[in-house]
Amino acid sequence: MSQITSNSHSRKKPSSIANWQTKFTTPQILRWGLYLVWGVSLLALGTANQAVKMQRDAIETIGKNTAPSVLTAQRIKDSLADLDANAANELLVKPGENPEAVKEYRKRQEKLSKLLALAAENITEGDAERQQIRTLILSLGDYMTQIERARLANERGDSRSLLEAYRKAANILDSILLPAAEQLQKVNLESLDRAYISQKARSANLLFLAVIGNLLPLVVLGLLQLFLYHRMRRNLNPYLLGATLCAIVFFFYITNALNAASYHLKVAKEDAFNSLLPLRQARAIAYSANADESRYLLDRELAPQHERNFVEKMAKIVVIPGNLNFESLAKEFKQSNVKDVAGFSGLFAEEFANITFSGERDAAVEMLSAFGVYVNIDKQIRSLANSGKKAEAIALCTGNDRGQSNWAFQQFLKQHQDVTEINFTAFTTNLDRGFQSVGYVPDKSKQSSDDILQGAMLDRAFKNTYQVEIFSLGLISAIAILTFLGLNLRLKEYS
């Protein structure tokens, strides 16, 4: 009886296999394979295009919207502080004795008008930006009105009215204008940081989805090749082999494009912009401190307060270790392997900790040395003022000759600009390359020669070449057609 049962089971097994083979015939499997290849290819195309679009959006948010607004806000702070420094320098002497200060004041007025217009044209954060820009425009008029009153008082020789008007102007600058510019920068910087953190978080997910999506056609094509070999005893199907090669090319093309875009965005943000930001912040604070230096001489009643403000701003820019001075610290950093010195802090320290690009270290060292010269001259100004030599102190403060304060400050600005330019160029170059990786190219026809626009990157226009979409569609179409041709040859055998 046991033997009969065993034989009965052995007879049912081949019957089940036969039923399965009847239900799922080779032509049916080949057709399903063809439809599956088409389906996963379309899925791969959609996944790739979505990943590329999101990379473009991240680069655009950082490179075209928020970063330019951050830099514009910083330049507004520069111009406001320098406007005030020139006003104070003009009022330190009799009318007409400092035409250079008057000239620079007017240049800053013009520059501020352009920068505020740019900020208004590039609003991306809604009322958070709009309110600060409105405040800047309205209060700047109030500030300049008070400066004009101080000028008229200076012409009359009325020192008390001059100081009253200038103090009102200084109060508008310190309590309204500079905080508004700072808030404008903060709003856009927060947006930039959010966009970058979000991009980093999504980048890995996008790449994973793109890899999975692009691998599916390869997997299905490989399984079809194996099926044909085992079921039909065929060698490699040349059409399927061609489709597989197209799928491999598509896989590497998309992953390389996404990786390149992500890499260039990382270099632009972490290596370039993370140096560019403290450099621009240091420049704005330096302009403000330079105004405090002039205020120290102009308003002797409040000289201790202006000196405290100057010292506090210097500490934000750079703190020198107690056993070193500017010159010896610069020598320390001339060594290529030095990234930090104990006790060295401030915005300059952030830049030295993030030195990345060729020539950046040498330029940063020169900037540090030039700033040291300016700080030492400031000490001389205060020494002269405190010893009763106010006229000599004013001459040293407002002079543009070698060894005088304005000369030293301009030398610092020049060296600072060299470091800034290295990082700014790296930032814009990597944004360009990131865009190019996903099919965008700079539109030279829409770029301006205006240095205001260039400095804010608002002249950087891009156009879509549709390179990624066209190439991807071409490869996916080739996969679909080659798969059809390859499987159709086998299906004809069953006709």
Q: Sign of the CA dihedral 152, 157, 158, 160?
A: positive
**Rounded average pLDDT over 293-319:** 95
**Rounded average pLDDT over 273-295:** 93
pLDDT tens-digit readout, 98-142: 999 999 999 999 999 988 888 888 777 788 889 999 999 999 999
Backbone angles phi, psi at 462, to 5 degrees: -130, 150
Cβ atoms of 398 and 247 closer than 8 Å: no
pLDDT band at 1 (very low <50, low <70, confident <90, very high): very low
User: Beta-carbon neighbour count of residue 204 at 10 Å?
Assistant: 10
pLDDT tens-digit readout, 253-264: 988 998 898 899
Check residue 459 and give its pLDDT.
Answer: 57
pLDDT tens-digit readout, 56-109: 888 888 877 778 888 888 889 999 999 999 999 999 999 999 999 999 999 999
Whole-model pTM?
0.83
* Tokens matching residue 359: 């020539």
Domain ranges across the chain:
41-492
Check residue 11 and give its pLDDT.
Answer: 44
Check residue 49 and give its pLDDT.
Answer: 86
Cβ atoms of 368 and 333 closer than 8 Å: yes
Pairwise CA distance, residues 106 & 112, whole Å: 10
**Rounded average pLDDT over 396-411:** 94
pLDDT tens-digit readout, 156-196: 999 999 999 999 999 999 999 999 999 998 988 888 888 78
pLDDT band at 205 (very low <50, low <70, confident <90, very high): confident
